[in-house]
Amino acid sequence: MLATFMYGPGDVRVEETETPTILTPTDAIVRITLSCVCGSDLHAFHGGGIRSGIARMGHEFLGIVEDTGADVSTVKQGDLVLAPFVWADNTCDFCREGLHTACRHGGTWGSTDAAGIVGGGQAEAVRIPLADGTLVKLPVPEDSELLPDLLTLSDVMCTGYHAAVKGRVNEHTTVTVIGDGAVGLSAVLSARLLGAPRIILMGRHTARTDLGVEFGATDVVPERGEEGIAKVKDLTNGDGTHVVIEAVGFPQAFDQAFGVVRKGGTVSRVGVPQYTEANVGMQAMFFPNITLTGGVAPARAYIETLLPKVLDGSIHPGRVFDRAVALPDIATAYQAMDDREALKVLVRP
């Protein structure tokens, strides 16, 4: 079968590799019918986090169950299923507390478990460890027009929602979202879902911020740095907003978040940090009583909440996809996203 590998900075290859098989009674094999490239995949594209020099890529996918181990009971051959971006048993204490990213028996796509290789999602098929706890059956046909919307529940929409939930967004909180990428736009949509009356989107790519307005942003601030901070302060009578969602991960965005948060407010950080030191001292946090929260989203914990909203048409988060490629051409998707020519790219077999 075909699968995507990252050999080094900018070196994306689609190669023939072993077809996955059932290795444990709790496994399933899924034929992938739709996946995508994530903004976090670009970190590997730039040379970061590649294990042993080569990485099996992809962590957002859905597809059809082709086989199951003897102990799998919640899905069966022929089911259309969604996989969140980590696999988990959904039964350990951390999973029961809603923190599937800390599952005592889970792991990440493109790694290994005790039985062997667990492939990435940018491939034709993948072995699913702990299938009962990981996979979510989708009640739509394989050719449903909702598939791009549903695919976002594997990561990006749930990450935006996690940011809003951790920030305690509600009908009484004003919100600033820093970043007009797919996560930032999903955070805008999530803040709207949770009732925020004012949502300021800080981004400078017009096509993206226009979508952000359609998702619920009430204001757009294209300026950055001190100029951007001043603009948000001007929009909020000098106070800033109750919640700031930082969806970029660069130190400048982190500093900007503390510049626009209201005293007593919350900074919710979900952009993967591209820095090792940050300003969290007395002036930034202690004296103004700022809460810092966020982190890696436990997508599995939010799927049951968001799935009905996709199915009934309340939200269409799949609009963040603005391009599609075939799996053999996935390198063009990485390049297009890196060049900011595409927001988020679907990958089809």
- Tens-place pLDDT, residues 186-195: 999 999 999 9
* Tokens representing residue 62 in the block: 């859905």
**CB of 63 closer than 8 Å to CB of 34:** yes
Rounded mean pLDDT, 259-265: 97
User: Over 70: is that where the pLDDT of 286 sits?
Assistant: yes
Nearest by Cα to 120 from 6, 10, 271:
6
Residue 285: what pLDDT?
Answer: 84
% of the chain at pLDDT higher than 90: 91
Cβ atoms of 60 and 151 within 8 Å: the answer is: yes
Q: Please give the Cα distance from 181 to 343 (Å, whole number).
A: 7
Q: Is 114 exposed, middle or buried (0-12, 13-18, 19+ CB in 10 A)?
A: exposed
Closest CA relative to residue 235, chosen from 223, 250, 221: 221
Confidence of residue 269 (pLDDT cuts 50, 70, 90): very high
Which fold would CATH assign to domain 157-294?
A: Rossmann fold (3.40.50)
Reply yes or no on whether the pLDDT at 307 is more than 60.
yes
CA distance 191 to 99: 21
Residues of the chain with CATH 3.40.50.720: 157-294
Give yes or no for a contact between 185 and 193, defined as CB atoms under 8 angstroms apart: no
CB of 161 closer than 8 Å to CB of 306: yes
Determine the Cα–Cα distance for residues 58 and 281; give it in Å rounded to an integer. Answer: 37
Mean pLDDT within 216-240: 97
- Write down the pLDDT at residue 292: 95
Whether the per-residue pLDDT at 264 is higher than 70: the answer is yes
What would the pLDDT profile of 107-150 be if each residue is shown by its tens digit? 999 999 999 999 999 999 999 999 999 999 999 999 999 999 99
The mean pLDDT of 2-31, rounded to a whole number, is 97
Question: What 3-state DSSP class applies to 53?
Answer: helix
Specify the pLDDT at position 272: 87
Pairing of strands 261-269, 291-294: parallel
- Tell me what pLDDT residue 49 has: 57
pLDDT tens-digit series, residues 124-135: 999 999 999 999
pLDDT in tens, 174-225: 999 999 999 999 999 999 999 999 999 999 999 999 999 999 999 999 999 9
Q: What are the start-end ranges of the H helices in the chain?
A: 41-45, 93-96, 131-134, 147-151, 156-166, 182-193, 206-215, 225-235, 251-260, 299-311, 330-338
Residue 282: the pLDDT is 63
- Read off the pLDDT band of 53 (50, 70, 90): low
Write out the two tokens for 30: 């899924």
pLDDT given at position 116: 95
Looking only at the bridges linking them, the beta strands covering 11-16 and 28-37 are unpaired
pLDDT at 100: 98
Q: Considering the chain, what percentage of its residues have pLDDT values greater than 70?
A: 98
Residue 51 is predicted with a pLDDT of 47
In the chain, which segments carry CATH 3.90.180.10?
2-155+298-348
What pLDDT score does 330 carry?
98
Which residues, at least 6 apart from 41, have a Cβ–Cβ distance to it below 8 Å?
Answer: 57, 58, 334
Task: Report the sign of the C-alpha dihedral through residues 88, 60, 152, 29, in that order.
Answer: negative
Question: Which residue in 223, 224, 180 sits closest to 199, CA to CA?
Answer: 180
Which CATH number applies to 2-155+298-348: 3.40.50.2300, 3.30.470.10, 3.90.180.10, 3.40.50.1240? Answer: 3.90.180.10
pLDDT digits (tens, 9 = 90+) for 40-52: 999 889 887 554 5
**Which DSSP letter does residue 18 get?**
P
Q: In the predicted model, what is the mean pLDDT of residues 75-85?
A: 98
